[in-house]
Each structure stands twice: as structure tokens, then as C-alpha cells.
């Protein structure tokens, strides 16, 4: 009886947390609207401040620790010290942020359609169909609910997974270098103009 009561309380807590969490579709839609506004301003008058706002906005929805953990082979992540994990995530974040600003054209769209979120407990997906000059792209945000907030750990554009792409690249580098060598490589890439 006591176990059943605990189980009911735990399930009720999970449901309440999921209900209290912001709508993942609303989150993605709001970020998309804000990004489009910044991109229009940037085209009219590019400034370093706007560039930084765009970089922050593009990446504000991502959980870089989760994305980084999944992008590394499991044994490499588990074998890393907490300091190495932190350094990897910090440099990985810098690299992804700087690369995203270089590819601003990929964020432009004439219109978007947001499909209802697929939610399974603390995991979710938001699919967005985007049109730019008549061409459609399908973007899927893979999300997880953490501390009452939806955070993306992968971004899939037309079936190309950001996480999988990085995992493949990192696996190749790790054949020749250790984790510290990979971190150094990522850091240099993040510093590229």
C-alpha cells in the first residue's frame, strides 16, 4: 500500500511538472520569431552587438552538455575527468555558436509551420516545416525537460542530425588524438573567423 501511494505521488509529480513546463512549440516559435527580427535588422545594419544577440538566441535553446555528451563516444565521456568534460563542453559550445553565426542564411525562411509537439515523459520533439524561396526544409528539435524547461540536445535538418554529424567527426579525430587533443582541435576551430 505504501509503495502504491509513493508511486501515485511520484506519477502525479511528473504529470504536474510536465503540465507546468512551457509549451515546447511555443518556445521554438518564439525563438524563431525573435531570430527572424534580428536577421532583418542585421541585413539593414550589421553590428557586432546584433551578431552577438543572434549567436545567443540561436543557441539559447540548446543543452550543450547533453549535446556534447551524446556527440562523444560513451567510453570517452565516462572516462573523462569532470574538468575535461567541462572544458570539452565549453569549447564545443564556443565552436557551435561561432559556426551558427557563420551560417545565418540557413536560418532564413519566408514562412514556417509548427506541428504539435510529440511528448513522451521528459522527452519531446518539435517539427517545423520551413519554406524559403519555394524550397521546404523539415527541422526537428529533439528536446528534454530539465528543471521545468525544455532544452534541445539535437537539431535535425532534412534528416541530417547535428549531434550525429559531430559524433562522426569527433570519432575520426579520436582515432588519432586523445580527448585533450580533440578539445584543442575544437578550440582552434572556435577561434576561426
Q: Which of 10-19, 80-89, 106-115 has the highest mean pLDDT?
A: 80-89
Phi, psi of 62 (to 5 degrees): -90, 145
Q: Classify 120 as helix, strand or coil.
A: strand
pLDDT digits (tens, 9 = 90+) for 105-150: 556 677 889 999 999 999 999 999 988 888 898 999 999 998 888 9
Q: In percent, how much of the chain has pLDDT > 90?
A: 50
Given pLDDT bands bounded at 50, 70 and 90, which one contains residue 63? very high
pLDDT score at 38: 77
- Could you tell me the residue range of the domain that residue 153 belongs to? 2-191
What's the number of domains the chain is made of?
1
Phi, psi of 54 (to 5 degrees): -65, -45
Please check the confidence at residue 19 and state whether its pLDDT lies above 70.
no
The CATH number assigned to the domain holding 39 equals 3.10.450.710
Nearest to 151 by CA among 34, 22, 39: 22
Amino acid at each position: 500500500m505504501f509503495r502504491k501511494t509513493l508511486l501515485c505521488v511520484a506519477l502525479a509529480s511528473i504529470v504536474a511538472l510536465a503540465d507546468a513546463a512551457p509549451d515546447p512549440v511555443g518556445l521554438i516559435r518564439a525563438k524563431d520569431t525573435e531570430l527572424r527580427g534580428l536577421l532583418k535588422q542585421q541585413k539593414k545594419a550589421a553590428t557586432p552587438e546584433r551578431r552577438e544577440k543572434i549567436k545567443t538566441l540561436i543557441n539559447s535553446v540548446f543543452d550543450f552538455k547533453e549535446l556534447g555528451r551524446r556527440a562523444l563516444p560513451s567510453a570517452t565521456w565516462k572516462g573523462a575527468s569532470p574538468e575535461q568534460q567541462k572544458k570539452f563542453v565549453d569549447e564545443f559550445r564556443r565552436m557551435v555558436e561561432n559556426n551558427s553565426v557563420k551560417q545565418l542564411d540557413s536560418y532564413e525562411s519566408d514562412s514556417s509551420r509548427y506541428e504539435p509537439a510529440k511528448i513522451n515523459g521528459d522527452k519531446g520533439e518539435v517539427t517545423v516545416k520551413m519554406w524559403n524561396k519555394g524550397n521546404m526544409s523539415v527541422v526537428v528539435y529533439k528536446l528534454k525537460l530539465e528543471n521545468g524547461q525544455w532544452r534541445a540536445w539535437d537539431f535535425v535538418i532534412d534528416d541530417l542530425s547535428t549531434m550525429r554529424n559531430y559524433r562522426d567527426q569527433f570519432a575520426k579525430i579520436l582515432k588519432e588524438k586523445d580527448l585533450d587533443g580533440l578539445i584543442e582541435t575544437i578550440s582552434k576551430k572556435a577561434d576561426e573567423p
